Structure 1
Amino acid sequence: MRSYHLDPGHGLAGLTVQEHDIPEPARGQVVVRVRANSLGFRDLMVLAGNYPLPIRPGVVPGCEGAGEVVAVGEDVSRVRPGDRVAATVFPRWLDGPFRLDNAAQLGTMVDGMLTDYAVLGEDGVVPIPEHLSFEEAAALPLAAVTAWNALTSGSPLRPGDSVLTLGSGGVSLFVLQFAKLAGARVIVTTSGAAKADRLKALGADDVINYREDPEWSETVRALTGGVGVDRVVDSTGPLEQSLKSAAFGGDVAFVGRWLSGAAGARPIDPALLFRAGATLHPIATGSRTHFVELARAVEVHRVRPVLDRVFPFEDVPEAFRYVESGGGFGKVVITHD
C-alpha cells in the first residue's frame, strides 16, 4: 500500500510517498480501503505548516476520504466488511460542543486519509448515502459537515428564513444546497458573472458580486427590506460586513478560515458587535452526530455534491497546485486505482 507523508512547513517539497504493509485492525478499529479523497484550502494550510492545530512530522495528510471497510477488529459493532463509509474529521468528537480533548484531527495530529488503507476507530466512520459515488462521498466530511453545523447551531432554520453565505467555496456551496432544502431564501456573494450563473443554477435567490460591490452588506439589507438576514455563514470575511448584514437577533456562523490571515481577521469594533444584536458562533467543522444527520438528509433528498476536478492518487501534488491556483467551482477530488 502507498501513503503520502508530510514534513510540515515545507510545502510540496515536504510531501513524499512511502510503501507499507497493509495494516491489521486492533480492538475497536476498522481498516478502510480508501477509494477517494477530497482536498481544499485547509489542506494548503497544513502543507504550509500554517494551521492552528499541531501537525505531527511524518503524518499522513488529508482529513477527507471515503472507501469500503475491508477488516474489523474485536468488539466492532457499528460496521462490517463491505460497508461503504467516510471518515470523520475529528474521530473523537462524537456529539455535543467542541472541546479541546476532542481536537485530535485526521491529517494533522493523527494519520489521515491520503493513503490506500486507513486504520480508524469504529466511531470515526459514517455510512455514506447509497446514491453517491466514492468521489462524491469524499466531498462530505469537511465542507458539508461544516455547512451543516453552521446551519443547525443556534436558533433553528425555518422555511422562509433568509441565509447569506460568503463566496463559492466548498462550504458555501453546501450551505446553499442545505438551506434551500430547508425552504430558506439564500443570498450568496461571489467574484464574477460566471460563478454567479452557476450559483443561480444551484438555487441561489440573489447573488452579489463583492468585487463590484465592496460594501455588499448594504445590498444585503436592501434585498431584505432593511431587516438583514436571519443567518450568515462567514467562511471568507470580512466579519464586519457579515455583522452588518445580520438581522437583529440573527446568527452569524464564523468558520475558521480567517485564522490564515484572510480578510475576516481584521479587528472588530466592540460597538459594532453590540449594535448588530446577532449571536456569533465559531464553527470548527462538526461532530460525528452532525455527519450522521447530514448523511440522512443527503440520502433522503438525493443531494449530490458539486465536484470540480478529479485527479489520480499519483497526481496529488498537481491537485494541490490546482487548489492553490483558485478559481475552481466545487470540490477537488483524488481517486484511487
Structure 2
Amino acid sequence: MAPTTFKQWTLEGQNGIESLVCAQARMPKELGEHEVLVKLHAASLNYRDLAIAKGAKGLVTSHNVVPGSDGAGVIVSIGNLVTPFVPGDKVVTHMTPNFAEDAFPTFTEICAGLGHTVDGTIREFGVFDQSALVHMPKNLSFEEAATLTCSGLTAWNALFGGGRTIGKGDSVLTQGTGGVSIAALQFAHATGATVISTTSSSSKASRLTTLGATHTINYRTNPSWGDTAKSLTKNHLGVSNIIDVGGLSTLPESLKAVRVEGVVTVTGVLGKEAKETPSLMDTLWRVCSVRGILLGSKRQFGDMVRFVEEMDVRPVVDERVFGIDEVREAYTWIEEQKHFSKVVIKMA
C-alpha cells in the first residue's frame, strides 16, 4: 500500500540552492490513461540541475517544478491504456516524454522535459507519462541506474551515434571526471577501445586508470594536452573520437588531438572561453568532423540498456550518497566540484 503523502522537493524561484524547498505532497487519487505511478528509489544530479536552480544560461523553469531529470524506481500502478509496463517493473526515467522514439531532442525539447518544465525525480513518488520511462538494466542497483538518464545517454550517443561505432583499434579521449566523461570512458573501455583521459589531479588520474583509461594527462600541468594526447595514439595519428565537455575552453586542444577523419563530439559548455576560438574552417584544415549533441534518442536509451546488461557495465556513483533530506547539500557538492562522476540522492 502506498502512503497518502510523501516527500518532494520543488524549486520556488531560481535564486540558487536556497530556492529548493522540501514539503509533503499528496498521493494522486487516480492516474491518467497513459500515466504511471513510480516509487522512486534514487535520483542523480547534473550540472543542468544547478544551472536551472540559479537561472543560469537563460534557463527559465516552471514555478514550483520538482527538479531532477534522472531517477530509478519501481512501478506501483498504471493507467488503463499503459502497455509497456506492469506494476513491479523497475524503470529509469527518460528526460523528454511525448517525443518520437527515434528523434533527437534539441534544447527546446529538453527545456520542456523532466526537472525543467515537467515535474522531475527528486521526490519519493512520481507520476510520469509512460513515454518518460524505460526498463531498468537488470544488472544495476537503483543508484547506478539513476545515472543513465542524462550523462549515460549523452555518452552513449557521443560514442555510437551519428552512424559511428567504437571498438578495438579505436581511441577515445575523455575530459575530466564528470558524469558524461566517466560513462564514456566505461563504455569505450568495454568495447576494447584505447581511452585517454584528462584530469586535474593525480588522485583522480589513479581512479581513471582503475576504470580503464590507458593514459591520463594532467591538463593543469600540461595545458598543451592536445599534442600530448595525439602523441599517445598509434603511430601518432590522433584520436578517433574526442568527447568534449568544455566547449570553447577545450575545443582548441581537442582539434589538435583529433586524427584525420576523426570526430570531436561536443557535449557541453562547462569551461570558459579560451584565448584561441576555433572556427568552422578548422574542420577543413584538420580534415575532421565536429558533432554537437544534446542527450540522445529513446531508441538509443534502449540500446544502451542492452549494452550495459550484456557487458555488465556498472556506472560510477560518487562515494558520498545523499539522503532525501540532504538535497541542498547534494547541489552544493556539485557546485563546489567535490564529486567524482555522478552525485546520487537515495530516497529510502
User: TM-score, normalization: structure 2?
Assistant: 0.91
**1:63 partner letter:** S
1:230-241 equivalent positions in 2, closer than 5 A: 230-236=240-246, 237-241=249-253
User: How far does residue 55 in structure 1 lie from its aligned partner after superposition?
Assistant: 1.2
Match of 2:272 in 1: 262
Match of 1:73 in 2: 79
* Residue 64 of structure 2 corresponds to residue 49 of structure 1: no
Secondary structure of 2:105's counterpart equals coil
Match of 1:226 in 2: 236
* Residue 104 of structure 2 corresponds to residue 97 of structure 1: yes
Distance 2:241 2:24 in 1: 47
Tell me which of 291, 295, 300 is aligned to 1:290.
300
Match of 2:124 in 1: 116
User: How far does residue 143 in structure 1 lie from its aligned partner after superposition?
Assistant: 1.0
Q: Identify unmatched segments of 5+ residues in structure 1.
A: none
Match of 2:181 in 1: 172
* Residue 335 of structure 2 corresponds to residue 324 of structure 1: yes
Deviations 1:262-282 (A, max 9, x none): 347973234423212221111
CA contact (8 A) 2:158 2:293 kept: yes
Quick one: percent identity of the two aligned structures? 38
Distance 1:8 1:267 in 2: 35
* Residue 137 of structure 2 corresponds to residue 126 of structure 1: no
Secondary structure of 1:251's counterpart equals strand
Distance 1:4 1:42 in 2: 16
Query: Structure 1 pair 329/101, CA: closer, same or farther in 2 (3 Å)?
Result: closer
CA contact (8 A) 2:51 2:59 kept: no
Aligned length: 335
1:188-337 equivalent positions in 2, closer than 5 A: 188-224=197-233, 225-236=235-246, 237-258=249-270, 262-263=272-273, 267-308=277-318, 309-337=320-348
- Segment of structure 1 superposing worse, 30-39 or 148-157: 148-157
CA contact (8 A) 1:239 1:265 kept: no
CA contact (8 A) 1:8 1:46 kept: no
**1:219 partner letter:** T
1:25-44 equivalent positions in 2, closer than 5 A: 25-44=31-50
* Residue 25 of structure 2 corresponds to residue 17 of structure 1: no
CA contact (8 A) 1:91 1:288 kept: no
* Residue 157 of structure 2 corresponds to residue 145 of structure 1: no
Distance 1:266 1:48 in 2: 29
Distance 2:303 2:173 in 1: 22
CA contact (8 A) 1:243 1:276 kept: yes
Match of 1:62 in 2: 68
Deviations 1:84-138 (A, max 9, x none): 1010012234223335664421111111111111111112111112221111111
Distance 1:100 1:315 in 2: 29
CA contact (8 A) 2:96 2:105 kept: no
**1:122 partner letter:** Q
Q: Identify unmatched segments of 5+ residues in structure 2.
A: 1-5
Distance 2:128 2:98 in 1: 11
Tell me which of 3, 7, 17 is aligned to 2:8.
3
Distance 1:265 1:279 in 2: 22
Match of 2:3 in 1: none
The RMSD of aligned alpha carbons is 1.8
Deviations 1:277-316 (A, max 9, x none): 2211111111211211111111111111111121110111
CA contact (8 A) 1:92 1:102 kept: no
